[in-house]
Structure 1
Amino acid sequence: MAHPIDLHVGQRLRQRRCLLGMTQQRLAEAVGIKFQQIQKYESGANRVSASRLWALANALEVSVSYFFDDLSHTKPNGAYAHGAGGGTGEEQPASIEPEVLSEKETIDLVRAYYGLSEEPRRRLLDLAKTLAGAA
């Protein structure tokens, strides 16, 4: 049975890869492995070594800590608790189900958002926050 942290790292790997529109094959080639290994990492079936995590982070243009975001601490029994996020000090939503972040609609929305220049992006974020507060 896969360890919860291995599952979390695999989930974050898949989210970032999909957000970049990168195939498992392309990511595997970037780090010098077979795409089947990426599948195993993403499912949590195989653990990612430190050196491989470093290579994956570079290929996905994130820091190694990205894979551990939303983990607040590990308990002695191996269980972990979700934290409030990346420690930015900003207010975080009450809860976002992990599945939402891997849905095509969410990925399309994030891609479109980052396709905007800074000013329209900030305005869109303000609008979304206002609408969420009105709901």
Structure 2
Amino acid sequence: MRRVSRREPGRVPQEGRRHTPKPGAIDRHVGARIRERRLMLGLSQQELAEAIGVTYQQAHKYERGLNRIAAGRLYEIAHALGVPISWFFDGLDSDQEPAPLTQRQRLWLEVARNFAQISNERHQLALSQMARALAEAEARRDEPPRPG
């Protein structure tokens, strides 16, 4: 005798479903690398989403490793971020997950991005000299007093 099953309205029968494995450690690693590169370039999640033709929410899920990324979409992301696809997999062989950027690292990247956008060489030189002077002042401040 065949067993009749009652299914809930709107529910797809098991045989009609596609099996999509849950995102795992590799997906989280790739997502972290996407976020890292996006931050290096100074892009918002919204800007990345627009560049690859997805919603902000979808880009967020990619970065968190919550949704898997299809090969074609990963190609689009690599193109938008200016890296080869293999870049997202660098460091995957190590046992540890990439550490998130510290506030200091983010600030350093922001300074580098802003400096790169200055086209006037005299302004670049002036900014470099100012940074050098500030660094030297910090070094002198941290030195122990000289006996005298």
Q: TM-score, normalised by structure 2?
A: 0.56
Structure 2 CA distance for aligned equivalents of residues 61 and 106 of structure 1: 20
**How much does 1:110 deviate?**
3.7
* Higher-Rg member (1/2): 2
Q: Residue deviations 1:53-93, cap 9 Å, x none?
A: 00001101111011000022xxxxxxxx44xxxxxxxxxxx
Amino acid at match of 1:46: N
Q: CA RMSD in A?
A: 2.6
**Partner of 2:77 in structure 1?**
56
**Partner of 2:66 in structure 1?**
45
**How much does 1:9 deviate?**
0.4
| Runs of 5+ consecutive residues of structure 2 not aligned to the other structure | 1-21, 117-127, 129-148
Structure 2 CA distance for aligned equivalents of residues 23 and 111 of structure 1: 13
Structure 2 CA distance for aligned equivalents of residues 104 and 57 of structure 1: 25
Structure 2 CA distance for aligned equivalents of residues 111 and 10 of structure 1: 21
Tell me, what secondary structure is at the counterpart of 2:30?
helix
Identity %: 42
Amino acid at match of 1:51: G
Determine if the alignment matches structure 1 residue 22 to structure 2 residue 21: no
Structure 2 CA distance for aligned equivalents of residues 110 and 25 of structure 1: 19
Structure 1 CA distance for aligned equivalents of residues 64 and 52 of structure 2: 18
Structure 2 CA distance for aligned equivalents of residues 112 and 65 of structure 1: 27
Amino acid at match of 2:46: Q
- Please identify runs of 4+ aligned residues in structure 1 that moved more than 3 A: 110-116
Does the CA contact (< 8 Å) of 2:29 and 2:98 recur in 1? no
